[in-house]
Amino acid sequence: MTKKNLYEQITLDIRKQIDDRKLPPGGKIPSIAEMRQQYGVSHITALRVYRELSTDQYIFHKPGQGYFARMADNLRHPAIIGSLGAFLRPLREYRNSDNYFNSIWVGIQNECCARHLNLLSSHSTQGLNQWTATGDALDRIKAAAIAAASQVDGYLLDERLPDDIVAEIASKCAKPVVLVNRMTALKDIDAVSPNHRGNLDKMFNLARNYDYNAFIYCSSGMRGCPNVSTDFCEEFHLQAEKRRLENLAIIPDTSIVPLGESTAKFMEAYEKLKKKSTKVLAIVESSAFGREMTDIAVKSRIKLGRELGIINGIDTGYSRSASPEIAALKTVPEQLGRMAVSVLMDRTSYEFMEHKTHFPDPEIIIGETF
C-alpha cells in the first residue's frame, strides 16, 4: 500500500467513525502519537490526516486540549456563496498623518484575494466618513446590509456602527458578523481590535524599568461614536486605577480644542510634575498631537527619554514619519484587516466557536522618545 493510499484510508476510517457516531460530536480524536501507534504510520502521515480532516471540517482544534469530532448540528459549510459584505467606511484620499483605516482595507482585500473571496460593499457607507453618522445614514447602512443577506456569507462591520445597529444586522440577517477595529460587549458578535490591554501592560512595565514615575495622559476627545480611541481611553483609566498612579495629569480634547491651548496645558502639567518626579511619560492618543509635542520638546531643549518620554497610544505610523521617531504602542492595521477576514471565515465554518474579541500580540516601538 502506498503512503497516499494509507493516509486516505485512515482519513476515511476516521470520517466513518464520526459519521456513524462511533466518535460522538465533541469526542476527542486520537492524538498524533496514538494514531501513529494504532495505524503504524509516520509522524508526517499522521499530520496529513489531521490536515485533511480539519480542511473537510470533520474535526476542530481546541488550543492546549487537542482535536475533537465535529459538532454536526452546528456545522456550517465554508464560503457557500464566496462573498463577504464589507460595510466599512470608504477609502479616503492619502494623508501624511493618518492612513490607518485605509491600511485595514488593504489587509481585508489582500486576505480576500488570497482566499478567492469576493467583497460586496454599498455606497450607503459614505455616511461613516462623518465622525458621528446621522440617524438617517445609519438606517440606510442597516437597510443595505439586511438587503444583502442572501448575497454574502457574513459581514465585516465598521467600528463606528453603534452596537444596537450591529446587533440588529446580525439578528435579522442570521449571518456571522465581525466588528472591525474595536471591542464590543455584544455576546454573539466577534470583533478584532488593537491589543490595548496587552500594549498598555507592557508599556507600564517598561516604564517602571526606565524609572518613569509621573504620567501625562493626552486624550483626543473624539468620543462621538464607538471607536478605537474610546476603547483605548477606557483601558488606560482601568490600568491607571489598578496601578494607583498618583502623579498623573490629564490633558483633555487635544483633537478638539485649539492646538495652542492643548500644548500650553501640556507644558504646564509637565512643569508641575517634574518638580516631584524624576521622569515624566506622556501617553498620547492622537499621533498628530504626539508629533506636535515632540517638536515643541526638542525646541525647548527638553531631553527626550531622559526628562520627558512621549509615546503614541494609537499608532498610525505618523509617529515614524519624521525625526525624532516617537515611541508607539504598535498596531499593524493590515494585520487587523487580514485577521477580520480570517475570523469571519472561521465563524462561517464553525458556529460553535466562542464569540470574543481577537487581538494581535502586544508590541512596543521604543523609537527615540522613550
CATH of the domain at 67: 1.10.10.10
Q: Are 49 and 11 in contact (CB under 8 A)?
A: yes
With respect to residue 365, please indicate whether it lies within any of the assigned structural domains: no
Residue 280: domain span: 196-329
Residues 189 and 201 in one domain: no
Secondary structure E strands in the chain: 59-62, 66-69, 83-87, 118-120, 155-158, 177-180, 190-192, 214-218, 248-251, 280-284, 308-312, 327-329, 357-358, 364-365
Q: What is the pLDDT of residue 102?
A: 92
With respect to residue 369, please indicate whether it lies within any of the assigned structural domains: no
> What cell does 46 get?
499522521
Residues 184 and 229 in one domain: no
Residues 65 and 97 in one domain: no
Q: Are 152 and 130 in contact (CB under 8 A)?
A: no
With respect to residue 368, please indicate whether it lies within any of the assigned structural domains: no
Q: What is the pLDDT of residue 226?
A: 79
> What cell does 236 get?
488606560
User: Alpha-carbon dihedral of residues 106, 112, 118, 123, nearest 10 degrees?
Assistant: -30
Non-local CB neighbours of 160 within 8 Å, separated by 6+ positions: 89, 128, 131, 133, 225, 226, 227
Which of 73, 102, 125 terminates a domain? The answer is 73
Residue 364: count other Cβ atoms within 10 Å of its Cβ: 18
CA distances from 259 to 218, 221, 229, 296, 313 (A): 12, 13, 19, 12, 19
Non-local CB neighbours of 271 within 8 Å, separated by 6+ positions: none
Residues 298 and 282 in one domain: yes
Burial 288-321 (b: 16+ CB within 10 A, else e): bbbbbbbeebeeeebebbeebbbbbbbbbbbbbe
Q: Are 144 and 85 in contact (CB under 8 A)?
A: no
Residues 17 and 33 in one domain: yes
What is the rounded distance in angstroms from the CA atom of residue 139 to the CA atom of residue 2?
A: 60
* Tally of domains within the chain: 3
With respect to residue 367, please indicate whether it lies within any of the assigned structural domains: no
Residue 247: count other Cβ atoms within 10 Å of its Cβ: 15
Residues 155 and 121 in one domain: yes
- CATH number reported for the structural domain that contains residue 187 in this entry: 3.40.50.2300
Residues 188 and 88 in one domain: yes
With respect to residue 370, please indicate whether it lies within any of the assigned structural domains: no
With respect to residue 109, please indicate whether it lies within any of the assigned structural domains: yes
Residues 48 and 22 in one domain: yes
Residues 244 and 299 in one domain: yes
With respect to residue 34, please indicate whether it lies within any of the assigned structural domains: yes
With respect to residue 366, please indicate whether it lies within any of the assigned structural domains: no
Residues 134 and 180 in one domain: yes
Give the phi and the psi of residue 140 in degrees, each rounded to 5. Answer: -65, -40
Coil, strand or helix: which one is 300?
coil
**What is the full per-residue pLDDT of the chain (370 aa) written as tens digits?**
444 578 888 888 888 888 777 888 778 888 888 888 888 888 888 888 888 887 777 887 776 677 888 765 444 444 478 999 999 999 988 877 678 899 999 999 999 999 999 999 999 999 998 888 899 999 999 999 999 999 999 999 999 999 999 999 999 998 999 999 999 989 889 999 999 999 999 999 999 999 999 999 999 998 777 788 999 999 999 999 999 998 999 999 999 999 999 999 999 999 999 998 989 999 999 988 999 999 999 999 999 999 999 999 988 777 677 899 999 999 899 999 999 999 999 888 765 567 889 999 999 999 999 9
Q: What is the pLDDT of residue 77?
A: 45
Residues 254 and 292 in one domain: yes
Q: What is the pLDDT of residue 44?
A: 84
Q: What is the pLDDT of residue 319?
A: 67
Residues 176 and 118 in one domain: yes
Which of 39, 73, 107 terminates a domain? The answer is 73
